[in-house]
Amino acid sequence: MSAAKCGSDNPGCRLVCTRLIRATALIAAIVLTAATAAPALAAGDVKAGRQKALQCQTCHGMDGTAKIPEAPNLAGQSEIYLTKSLQDYRSGARKNEMMSIVAQTLKDQDIADLAGYFAAIPVTLGEPPK
In order, the DSSP letters of the chain are --TTT-STT-HHHHHHHHHHHHHHHHHHHHHHHHHHHSPPPPPP-HHHHHHHGGGTHHHH-TTS--SSTTSPP-TT--HHHHHHHHHHHHHTSS--HHHHHHHHT--HHHHHHHHHHHHHS-----PPP-
Ranked by mean pLDDT, the top range of 3-7, 12-16, 54-58 is 54-58
Spell out the domain ranges in the chain. 1-38, 46-120
Q: Tell me the pLDDT tens digit for each residue of 35-59.
A: 554 455 568 999 999 999 999 999 9
Which residue type, as a one-letter code, is found at position 10?
N
Q: Tell me the pLDDT tens digit for each residue of 66-111.
A: 999 999 999 999 999 999 999 999 999 999 999 999 999 999 999 9
Second-level CATH architecture of 46-120: Orthogonal Bundle (1.10)
